[in-house]
Amino acid sequence: EAGVAQSPRYKIIEKRQSVAFWCNPISGHATLYWYQQILGQGPKLLIQFQNNGVVDDSQLPKDRFSAERLKGVDSTLKIQPAKLEDSAVYLCASSLVGGSSVGYTFGSGTRLTVV
Amino acid sequence: GQSLEQPSEVTAVEGAIVQINCTYQTSGFYGLSWYQQHDGGAPTFLSYNGLDGLEETGRFSSFLSRSDSYGYLLLQELQMKDSASYFCAASSGNTGKLIFGQGTTLQVKP
């Protein structure tokens, strides 16, 4: 089966600019996650969707980050305006059912550099 | 707060056995997962322990003790390709949310 697709692979922007990342989960996977991974650290959950509804966005900096999952399939994560500390890899993951952390599938991520 | 502790670096030689420990402090703990991540790559799922005891998958085994808030990943017959970062991750609540440790960089030497 095809994996989790993310684009772009790399992005360099100046601070205060905006940026958007796209994710296409594995077909049929109802649950989609966005994680932020800062260099040298483990991934941190930003937002979790179940179909097109938000399950958990408690760690999403809502003053600058937004995410949507229209039609319960693809998802977009946006940062506006970006700060230097947003430099990180943004990972999208999907799973067949919510409530199970067995067998998450991660995409290769988007590496964001804010200068 | 919620946190997981694991060693930052481990070095071993090809063919050897290595154990990566993980202690956790999380609310609503459901289970412990292990992920492998090569430089520039995606984290890939290795193993999950929902119950106490040992789970074996090929050269990899994982162990959980809920009473000690402790788990480990055991890698046997190390190969050069096992050089990577390894993360333990705790399931928090029943939503599938994962809380990751800082990762352990494993270097396998010839």
From chain A, pick out residues whose CB is under 8 angstroms from the CB of B95: 48, 55-56, 98-99
Tens-place pLDDT, residues B21-80: 999 998 888 899 999 999 989 999 999 999 999 999 899 999 999 999 999 999 999 999
Tokens of A77: 């994560």
Task: With CA atoms as reference, report the closest residue to B60 among B30, B81, B39, B41.
Answer: B81
Length of chain A: 115
Residues in B touching A41 (Cβ below 8 Å): 102-103
Interchain contact, B42 vs A107, CB within 8 Å: yes
Rounded to whole angstroms, the Cα distance separating A32 from A60 reads: 15
pLDDT in tens, A47-101: 999 988 999 999 999 999 999 998 889 999 999 999 999 999 999 999 886 555 5
Q: Bridge-partner residues for A20, per DSSP? A: A78
Contacts of A43 in chain B (CB under 8 A): 43, 87, 98, 100
Which residues of chain A approach chain B closer than 8 Å at the C-beta?
A: 3-4, 31, 33, 40-45, 48, 55-56, 91, 95, 97-109
Return d(Cα A80, Cα A102) in angstroms, integer: 33
